[in-house]
């Protein structure tokens, strides 16, 4: 309780949803003043100095809550706290630190997302959108259609792998090695799905490997063709095996740091949700990655807006991709 205000979970969730939708649906961002007029819970507060101070604190806390939930909200500051605009970076969402989902939870969330558009959303969210339209900033057809929740998965492999983990079944699939066109058949006892550095992967015991290399992590984007689920029961990981797999994954990501220079305010700048406050044309950006070739494929979409500084393997994969494109069109 803060300042006599009791934060009921349902009320807070509805207000956060209404704020998120109002910001997301706006073409040019919204000011704090706009949100105070459009969000029902804000608009109902009496216009007194004491109430206004409480409202300001509640609003800042709500924005912080949304950011903690992974919603990337940016403030475009023009020097005036009241006219600065809040915008949502399109297509960006960060899972809260340390957040993990089981295969069953992922399946349930995927199902929830598929029925989102058929459900009636909260009156608070509906009123917020209606009021925002009245200010002339939103198109008449704006709503939740473009903002249905989606889990970004890795193609056709995701669902059969998640179901195999849930049912404790061995799977078989063809896997393309990084930097190669060669396919190898893998027979895996799948233990868990993880989302690390922007990539989904499955961890398990690989029957086709030998010795200490049998506990493996496979990127779902490198699975080629259909995943076959067998009738064989998958062996369960011991605590030591699970810990070893986690340590191996952590060690891999710790050693895979991309360094880029990115043109400020370009599509690449927005894609990576950069909030650097400087004024230079180029911004240095570092982040962890899983696979140099997959990342290089992603980076080539931004062409002249980025420069790959390192590591050398990423720069090589980035350059070779352009060389293949040039050769194909020669």
Q: What does the pLDDT read at residue 320?
A: 87
Domain boundaries, the chain: 9-97+122-147, 155-254, 257-328
Query: What is the share, in percent, of the chain residues with pLDDT greater than 90?
Result: 19
Of 147 and 68, the structure prediction assigns the larger pLDDT to 68
Give the pLDDT of residue 82: 62
pTM above 0.75?
no
Task: Name the pairing type of β-strands 85-93 and 306-310.
Answer: unpaired
**CA 205/CA 301 separation, integer angstroms:** 35
pLDDT of residue 186: 93
Answer whether residue 168 shows pLDDT above 50.
Answer: yes
Of 136-140, 178-182, 240-244, where does the model show the most confidence? 240-244
Higher-confidence residue: 114 or 56? 56
| Cβ atoms 42, 59 nearer than 8 A | yes
Q: What is the mean pLDDT of the chain?
A: 77
Alpha-carbon gap, residue 249 to 129, rounded angstroms: 43
Q: pLDDT tens for residues 89-121? A: 654 556 666 666 665 566 555 555 544 444 444
Mean pLDDT of 12-25: 80
CA-CA distance, 112 to 324, in Å (whole number)? 41
Structure tokens at 16: 């956060």
pLDDT value of residue 261: 94
The arithmetic mean of pLDDT across residues 210-219, rounded, is 81
| pLDDT bracket for residue 212 (50, 70, 90) | low
Across 62-69, average pLDDT: 83
Task: Check pLDDT > 80 for residue 59.
Answer: yes
């Amino acid at each position: 309780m803060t300042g006599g205000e009791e934060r009921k979970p349902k009320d807070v969730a509805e207000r956060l949803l209404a704020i998120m939708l109002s910001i997301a649906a706006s073409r040019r961002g919204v000011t704090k003043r706009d949100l105070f007029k459009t969000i029902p819970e804000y608009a109902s507060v009496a216009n007194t100095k004491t109430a206004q101070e409480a409202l300001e604190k509640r609003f800042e806390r709500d924005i912080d809550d949304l950011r903690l939930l992974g919603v990337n909200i940016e403030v475009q500051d023009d020097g005036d706290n009241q006219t600065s605009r809040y915008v949502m970076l399109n297509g960006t969402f960060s899972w809260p630190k340390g957040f993990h989902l089981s295969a069953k939870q992922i399946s349930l969330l995927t199902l929830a997302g598929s029925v989102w558009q058929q459900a009636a959303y909260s009156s608070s969210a509906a009123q917020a959108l209606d009021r925002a339209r009245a200010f002339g900033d939103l198109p008449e057809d704006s709503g939740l259609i473009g903002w249905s929740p989606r889990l970004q998965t890795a193609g056709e492999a995701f669902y059969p792998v998640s179901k195999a983990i849930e049912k404790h079944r061995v799977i078989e699939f063809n896997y393309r090695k990084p930097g190669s066109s060669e396919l190898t058949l893998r027979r895996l006892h799948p233990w868990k799905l993880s989302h690390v550095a922007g990539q989904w992967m499955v961890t398990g015991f690989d029957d086709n490997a030998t010795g200490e290399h049998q506990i493996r992590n496979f990127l779902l984007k490198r699975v080629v063709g259909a995943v076959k689920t067998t009738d064989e029961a998958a062996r369960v990981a011991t605590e030591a095996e699970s810990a070893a797999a986690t340590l191996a994954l952590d060690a891999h990501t710790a050693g895979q740091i991309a360094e880029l220079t990115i043109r400020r305010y370009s599509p690449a700048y927005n894609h990576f949700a950069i909030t650097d406050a400087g004024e230079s044309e180029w911004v240095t950006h570092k982040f962890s990655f899983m696979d140099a070739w997959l990342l290089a494929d992603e980076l080539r979409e931004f062409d002249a807006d980025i420069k790959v500084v390192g590591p050398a393997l990423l720069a090589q994969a980035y350059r070779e991709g352009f060389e293949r494109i040039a050769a194909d069109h020669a």
